[in-house]
Structure 1
Amino acid sequence: MKFPAIKGFDQTAFNKYLKNTGMLMFGKIGSLVIKMLVGIQIANHLGAFNYGILNGAIVYVALFAAVASLGLDQFTVKELHAYPKERDRILGTAFAMKVMAGLLCIPVIYIAWQLHDLEKTPYIYVLILSFTGLFQSFNIIDSYFQSEVQSKYIMQVQIAATLLAAIIKLVLIFGNCALIWFVYASIFDFLTLAIGYLIVYNRKGRSIGQWKFDRILAKRLMSFSWPLIISGLMVSLYMYIDQLMLHEMVGPDAQGLYTTAVTFSSAWYFVPTIIVSSLFPAILNARRDDPARYQKRLQNLYDIMVWFSMLFALGVTIAAPVIYGLFNKEYAGAAPILAIHVWSGIFVFLGTANTQYMIAENFNKFTFVRTTIGAILNVLLNLWLIPHMGGLGAAIATLISYFVSTFSILLVPKLRGQGIMMLKSLFLLTAFQKIFKR
């Protein structure tokens, strides 16, 4: 793609970022199609009740796995971008911190389970899945390839792991296997990803044996990331609490239906992550070299997020009845839930982009405040709406809480400008400006 000469525009850098983003998008879309098709078969095979039991355990553990990530991924990218020669020290420190957090989560999950267990979900399911945080420690390798704008290697690993996972789950379905085997398959997905990351890292001539732990750097990273640790927990709460509350207040059947809608609605949340992770180095460069171009790139990023999310939400809303024609009849009631829940993605897209701005400007504490507001509001709305509307009420609660969380920055003077920029994108004002300027 060739652009005319523009002051400050680097065609070579643009092509590099575009290729990286395109490769990631291609890989994720391929993986998504495979996961969705296999997911439909799993839901039909297990039935709404058992599907609710399985996902109840997965979501329960996901709350703790979010804490185990320590919010280090984007900070690692930032550190590697700033200090590429310190690669082994940065990666080794971040990895060790994530491993310790992953191990600590296992007994914490057990203690939490003793205080409150999910209805009809055996603890063995939760115990097996509690190793998720430990295996996710190897995601730090993903951060390295992001900093090098070489995410195509991670894409290759993810596609291979997705294909292997799909084959295993299809074998379990055709073998008419019991629910416990799908629990094993779920944790095996994370293990294969970890192994794949190690293989591709070694093939690039690197070795984790060269990684070093630096206590001083660990304290520095923790001082920066602790708001994101709590924020990650809050994000998980207001992403997953609706499923857990529905599980407890209505039953596993209701969660089974609702989970299919959430799966389709949130399956595309990889898009903002890919766009941001690929463009973040360019945004950081603009911040360093040209403040005006920095703001322009942020506005363009918000515009892209809105265009993608609105088009997808509209398409899924129209196609919801057709999508649920692929499921057993017991899932038909989830189509209206999907049609509402999918619009929450607009605010997920904008929030993902804005979070990168906060990281770049060291406004990490505001990320915590924003997500806390969203989590609390989501719980309160679910307590009110679920008893009256079931899964549909949970979807409405999610949509409202995501909107409030994203635009709560309008209440903060330092961040109000970014909130206004997002509103311009949301109401397509910048899009109309670009059209009429032509």
Structure 2
Amino acid sequence: MGVTSMFESPGFKKYLHNFSWLFVDRVVRMAMVLGTTVIVSRYLGVERIGQLNYALAIVSIAMVFTSLGANEVVSRDLVRHPERRDELMGSTFAIKLFGGIILNLGLLLYVFLKGLDHFTVMLVMITASAELLKWSTVIDNYFMAEVRGNVAAKVNIASTLFASGYKLLLVWMKAPLIWFAWGYFAETFSFTVGFLWVYHRNGLRYRDWRPTWRMVRYIMDQSWPMLVYGFALQAQLKVDQVMIKDILSRTLGESFANIELGQYSVAVKMLEAIAFLPVVVQLAVAPAIAKARVVDIDLYHERLTNQYRLMFCLFLVTAIPMYFLSEWVIVLLYGEEFRESGVLLSLFAFRLIFAFMGVAKGSFITNEGLFKFSLITSVIGAVVSIAMNAWLIPIIGARGAIWASIASFLVSIFIVDLFTPRTRINFRLMMHGMSTFWRLRSVK
């Protein structure tokens, strides 16, 4: 098939249309969330933002138990076995509902044993209650398997718009902090209602779902590695926020700890907005790399190297302005109270290299089938993160958490590749790509 005919084929147009909607979904929602976060943060102030984000961080670490790693399995099998749709979706619904119940009971036990104050317990449990509705993501899995990203994108954008409107209304009403925790439940509720509506509108009925014990066992047997991987990755990403509050509360007082966490969480939100870029780039180049793996191993290595060059160039383009302009941008958007967030964000510029290279490394992991290796590295990264945070936070506060995250990602993304023969080649490709970034050629 020629290049022109390939681009004109119905299959290519279908996937391009799907990717375009997913891209629009991510960009629009990111813009809405960032804009709302700025307004809400200015209203609540740094200390109350710290209180809210402490609860969110606790729930975020545990939320992988809502899906129990089933998302990837059900999405794959809905493509392979569409005739089993109702059994797959019914069984996944049961798994996710059970996972949401277990998560809430587990967090209730956690906050009780930890002896958290009543208000923090309320924030945690209100936020966690949203996970009881996450079973509706099985409908999202279905439309993604059908390559109908436009349906999922419209529901996601509408639910984010609803949640943003709710939070802005609370700001206008000068509502107390507890009502902002309900905002996360409101977003998930609107997401659930939206997906049930579009599922019904497409001539499908959730009442036809048929959970079976056989399918539940099959999904759980397939998905447990993703459960461990997801939990370790979330711990690596979110445990720093929990540890900032816990450690500094014991040494410097709860008020200081909330303020420090508030500054840190605002910087993290800005970092997450920037870290969206490598995901989009990787989605665009992944098919070309996967094709080269089948056709020619030398071409495959060349395309991986060029992907690493591209990611390193993008890192330089984003990290340099971020390092020098962060403080000014944060003060402009959030106000003088959040100036320290700008200082922290400038330090986060050094962590961006791991966001870009880590996403790019996903192409190598996927094409080589090294999923167990990826699981092990995520666990190692989480352990390093916890150890480094415990050491550095008491010494330099939130800045210690940044250096701890840099150390953990350095180990999990780069250093561990040196210890297994199959991944040493990837380490060499990454080093070569970054050290010769000016030789960037087309990845495709």
Equivalent positions of 1:260-299 (< 5 A) are 260-272=266-278, 282=287, 286=291, 290=295
Residue 425 of structure 2 is matched in structure 1 by: 417
Residue 321 of structure 1 is matched in structure 2 by: 327
CA distance in structure 2 between the aligned counterparts of 1:77 and 1:426, rounded to whole angstroms: 34
Quote how far apart the aligned CAs of 1:154 are: 1.4
| Residues 142 and 312 (structure 1), Cα distance of their counterparts in 2 relative to 1, 3 Å cut | farther
CA distance in structure 2 between the aligned counterparts of 1:201 and 1:314, rounded to whole angstroms: 45
Residue 254 of structure 1 is matched in structure 2 by: 260
Structure 1, unpaired ranges of 5+? none
| Residues 284 and 104 (structure 1), Cα distance of their counterparts in 2 relative to 1, 3 Å cut | farther
Structure 2, unpaired ranges of 5+? 249-256
Checking the alignment, whether the CA contact within 8 Å between 2:289 and 2:303 is kept in structure 1 is no
Q: 1:149-205: CA deviations, max 9, x gaps?
A: 321221111211121111111111111110111111122112212222222233333
Quote how far apart the aligned CAs of 1:354 are: 4.1
| Residues 290 and 138 (structure 1), Cα distance of their counterparts in 2 relative to 1, 3 Å cut | farther
| Residues 46 and 222 (structure 1), Cα distance of their counterparts in 2 relative to 1, 3 Å cut | same
Counterpart residue identity of residue 211, structure 1: W
| Residues 136 and 301 (structure 1), Cα distance of their counterparts in 2 relative to 1, 3 Å cut | farther
**2:28 aligned counterpart, secondary structure:** helix
Residue 371 of structure 2 is matched in structure 1 by: 364
**1:205 aligned counterpart, secondary structure:** coil
CA distance in structure 2 between the aligned counterparts of 1:223 and 1:428, rounded to whole angstroms: 43
Checking the alignment, whether the CA contact within 8 Å between 1:53 and 1:256 is kept in structure 2 is yes
**2:441 aligned counterpart, secondary structure:** helix
Deviates more, 1:386-395 or 1:236-245: 386-395
**1:177 aligned counterpart, secondary structure:** coil
The count of corresponding residues between Structure 1 and Structure 2 is 432
Residue 53 of structure 1 is matched in structure 2 by: 51
CA distance in structure 2 between the aligned counterparts of 1:126 and 1:168, rounded to whole angstroms: 19
Residue 225 of structure 2 is matched in structure 1 by: 227
**2:174 aligned counterpart, secondary structure:** coil
Q: Do structure 1's residue 336 and structure 2's residue 343 form an aligned pair?
A: yes
Residue 210 of structure 2 is matched in structure 1 by: 212
CA RMSD of aligned residues (A): 3.2
| Residues 72 and 10 (structure 1), Cα distance of their counterparts in 2 relative to 1, 3 Å cut | farther
Report the TM-score, using the length of structure 2 for normalisation.
0.86
Q: 1:197-244: CA deviations, max 9, x gaps?
A: 222233333332232324333333322321221121111111111111
Q: 1:5-60: CA deviations, max 9, x gaps?
A: 45996653444433322322222212212211211111111111111111111111
CA distance in structure 1 between the aligned counterparts of 2:430 and 2:270, rounded to whole angstroms: 25
Q: 1:86-117: CA deviations, max 9, x gaps?
A: 33333332222122111111111111112214
Residue 381 of structure 1 is matched in structure 2 by: 388
Equivalent positions of 1:9-408 (< 5 A) are 12=9, 13-118=11-116, 121-250=119-248, 251-272=257-278, 282=287, 286=291, 290=295, 305-324=311-330, 325-355=332-362, 358=365, 362-407=369-414, 408=416
CA distance in structure 2 between the aligned counterparts of 1:59 and 1:219, rounded to whole angstroms: 30
**2:148 aligned counterpart, secondary structure:** coil
Report the TM-score, using the length of structure 1 for normalisation.
0.87
CA distance in structure 2 between the aligned counterparts of 1:220 and 1:291, rounded to whole angstroms: 35
CA distance in structure 1 between the aligned counterparts of 2:289 and 2:72, rounded to whole angstroms: 12
Counterpart residue identity of residue 144, structure 1: Y
CA distance in structure 1 between the aligned counterparts of 2:156 and 2:266, rounded to whole angstroms: 22
| Residues 295 and 89 (structure 1), Cα distance of their counterparts in 2 relative to 1, 3 Å cut | farther
Quote how far apart the aligned CAs of 1:381 are: 1.5
Identity in percent: 26
Q: 1:114-158: CA deviations, max 9, x gaps?
A: 221456853122111122332222222222232233212211112
